[in-house]
């Protein structure tokens, strides 16, 4: 198994060829656990320690990922991915909440609200991410949004933050592709 050890209850084979198990050496077991779980002696964190989330860290992830984005007057980050607008927000009293919010690139009339709500409710019942919802604008048009909101009050490593941001983008795009299949663009259909 390439040096991998599995820990937990030991099972004795129930065959006539069952062999006797060797007694566990506590020091060897401790060393094995440290090697598997930790990147150093007991008490030290493996890898990078979680740090507070900030717009600067989100911006650094966008830069490292090669994404083009804008910064609005409030300092919020946003851009277009797969033809859909996404925003990256750092919210909460202490900036402990990260939200990736996307908006479907099409609008619907108020008469289609019931159908859209059915699709959003079915999506939310079947999937964890993103949360799908419809908003009715003042002019009566309906837009569909996708949100992944995560509380990171204890901070996050760069990898953890990247995972949240990637999840928000990828699952948001999945929702919008689903909406495209349920509500095909009439201009894309051959007459």
pLDDT, tens digit (0-9, with 9 covering 90-100), for 62-105: 999 999 999 999 999 999 999 999 999 999 999 999 999 999 99
Give a yes or no: residue 120 inside a domain.
Answer: yes
Is the model's pLDDT at 1 over the cut of 70? no
Q: State the Cα–Cα distance between residues 79 and 84, nearest whole angstrom.
A: 8
In a domain, 147, yes or no: yes
- Residue 138 within any structural domain of the chain: yes
Rounded Cα distance, 38 and 46, in Å: 5
- Domain assignment of residue 95, given as a range: 55-188
Please indicate, yes or no, if residue 177 is contained in any of the structural domains: yes
The reported pLDDT for the residue numbered 101 is 98
pLDDT at 11 over 70: no
- Count of the separate structural domains present in the chain: 1
Could you tell me if residue 5 is inside a domain?
A: no
Both tokens assigned to 8: 């937990």
CATH number of the domain enclosing 159: 3.30.1460.10
Could you give the count of Cα atoms lying within 13 Å of 84 in the half-sphere of its Cβ? 27
pLDDT tens digits, one per residue of 122-166? 999 999 999 999 999 999 999 999 999 999 999 999 999 999 999
Would you say residue 45 lies in a domain?
A: no
Nearest-angstrom CA–CA distance, 1 and 187: 56
Tokens of 114: 């019931």
Angle between helices 158-182 and 55-64 (to 10 degrees): 70
Q: How far apart are CA 73 and CA 169, in angstroms?
A: 22
Band of the pLDDT at 182, cuts 50, 70, 90? Answer: very high
Average pLDDT value for the chain = 84
């Amino acid at each position: 198994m390439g040096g991998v050890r599995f820990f937990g209850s030991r099972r004795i084979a129930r065959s006539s060829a069952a062999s006797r198990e060797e007694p566990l050496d506590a020091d060897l077991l401790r060393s094995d656990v440290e090697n598997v779980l930790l990147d150093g002696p007991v008490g030290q964190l493996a890898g990078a320690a979680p740090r507070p989330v900030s717009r600067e860290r989100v911006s650094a992830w966008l830069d490292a990922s090669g994404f083009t984005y804008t910064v609005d007057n409030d300092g919020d980050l946003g851009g277009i991915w797969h033809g859909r607008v996404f925003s990256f927000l750092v919210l909460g009293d202490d900036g402990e909440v990260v939200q990736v919010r996307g908006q479907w690139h099409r609008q619907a009339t108020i008469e289609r609200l019931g159908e859209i709500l059915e699709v959003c409710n079915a999506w939310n019942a079947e999937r964890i991410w993103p949360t799908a919802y419809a908003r009715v604008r003042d002019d009566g048009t309906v837009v569909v949004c996708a949100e992944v909101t995560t509380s990171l009050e204890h901070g996050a490593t760069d990898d953890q933050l990247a995972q949240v941001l990637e999840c928000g983008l990828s699952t948001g795009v999945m929702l919008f592709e689903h909406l495209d299949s349920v509500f095909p663009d009439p201009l894309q259909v051959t007459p």
